[in-house]
Amino acid sequence: MDSHIPTRLCMQTPLRLAVQKSGRLSDQSVELLRSCGIRLSRTNGKLRAPADNFPLEVLYLRDDDIPGYVADGVAHAGIVGENVLEEKQRKVAIVERLGFAKCRLSIALPRGAAYGGVQSLNGRHIATSYPNILGAWLADAGVEASIHEISGSVEIAPGIGLSDAICDIVSTGSTLLSNGLKEVEAIFRSEALLVAGENLDPAFQEILDQVQFRIKAVLRARNSRYILLNAPNHAVNRIMEILPGMRSPTVLPLAEAGWSSVHSVVPEDEFWSVVDELKAAGAEGMLVVPIEKMVL
Ligand code: PRT
Ligand code: ZN
């Protein structure tokens, strides 16, 4: 066990975390745990993998089963898409939004079909694997349409005369395009979530808190960059005003008189929006480097 884990946690029954066995969530879920310093034993197709340096055991399951297993206490926690969680309507707590596997659930029609807004779906047949989310959305919009639940290959339903429209997961939109469909309404947005049972035993809650603490540090770091730049001393105050991010940048004197090195952490997506301003203010030799963990 990891020497940084309190001994009483090492002695405990491991927290059981359900992860998708194989699919769009699997690799990134396991990679996230790895980034958190949690090392899983090799599984060779087995359904459970204990971590060898942390009190956690992974159960590999179909994503559709994860909300139910967590709600029923078979797993203490799980990583699952928000779309599946919403559809299954099982009572679990959302612990952390994980920022990967982003997608949306959308209604799409054959490319040539006219669309005059939500009300034009009245009386239509819509094929989907998400009858609960779609049903709730239609009811909210005051639309009466019939829902055909099908479990896969939803995008071919209009082409084979099974439905007038579909409601399915969209990411890049290329599946819709290649099946001659156009997206007309995005009805639900989703990303991967860390979820847990609502009334965890305090011992498992303590392990989950540690997992969440590490995940937060990893996610924060993923969205941030460490920036180093040189600037003439007279420009430093202006540059510090421009730099978004942590409390106060570090300013160190350079060997060359009259110059300083400024270090700071900036949100990744904001770096490009301030780079021109930094240059105009006199910044030179900018280095932008990834951060592995960020603990505040
Ligand atoms: O076998 P198991 O039941 O575990 O897996 P699954 O086949 O049901 O799910 P899987 O692995 O396909 O997806 C797991 C989760 O990933 C989903 O529940 C979503 O939360 C998320 N996700 C993110 C996606 C997509 N992006 C996605 N693009 N799930 C499915 N798709 C499919 C979509 O169904 C459609 O066929 O990809 C196609 C559309 O993609 P684009 O890029 O062409 O628009
Ligand atoms: Zn599934």
Residues 18 and 154 in one domain: no
Reference 76, options 59, 61, 88, 63; nearest CA is 59
Residue 243 resides in a domain = yes
Model confidence over 168-193: pLDDT tens digits?
A: 999 999 999 999 999 999 999 999 99
- CATH assignment of the domain containing 211: 3.40.190.10
State which ligand 1 atom lies nearest to the alpha carbon of 82: 20
Residue 237 resides in a domain = yes
Residues 166 and 204 in one domain: no
Residue 79 resides in a domain = yes
Hey, whose CA ends up nearest to atom 6 of ligand 1?
23
> In 3-state terms, what secondary structure has residue 56?
strand
Q: Which of 203, 221, 239 is the last residue of a domain?
A: 221
Residues 11 and 94 in one domain: yes
Residues 24 and 43 in one domain: yes
Expressed in angstroms and rounded, the spacing between residue 55 Cα and the centre of ligand 2 is 27
Residues 69 and 201 in one domain: yes
pLDDT at 12: 75
Q: Which residues contact 178 (CB under 8 A, 6 or more apart)?
A: none
Expressed in angstroms and rounded, the spacing between residue 169 Cα and the centre of ligand 1 is 7
Residues 162 and 146 in one domain: yes
> In 3-state terms, what secondary structure has residue 85?
helix
From 21, 61, 63, 167, the mutation candidate for ligand 1 (largest count of ligand atoms within 8 A of CB) is 63
Percent of the chain residues topping a pLDDT of 70: 95
Mean model confidence pLDDT for the chain:
94
20, burial (CB in 10 Å: exposed 0-12, middle 13-18, buried 19+): buried
User: Cβ distance 159 to 180 under 8 Å?
Assistant: yes
The domain in which residue 162 lies consists of 103-190
Residue 1 resides in a domain = no
Model confidence over 151-168: pLDDT tens digits?
A: 999 999 999 999 999 999
**pLDDT exceeds cutoff 70 at 225:** yes
What's the mean pLDDT in 89-114? 98
pTM here is: 0.92
Residues 169 and 143 in one domain: yes
Q: How many domains does the chain have?
A: 3
Residues 137 and 27 in one domain: no
Query: Which pLDDT band holds residue 296 (cuts at 50, 70, 90)?
Result: confident
Hey, whose CA ends up nearest to atom 1 of ligand 1?
62
Query: Which pLDDT band holds residue 268 (cuts at 50, 70, 90)?
Result: confident
First to last CA, the chain: 25
From 156, 171, 178, 179, the mutation candidate for ligand 1 (largest count of ligand atoms within 8 A of CB) is 171
- CATH assignment of the domain containing 274: 3.30.70.120
Ligand 1 site residues (CB inside 6 A) read 20, 23-25, 62-64, 81, 83-84, 101, 103, 168-175, 190
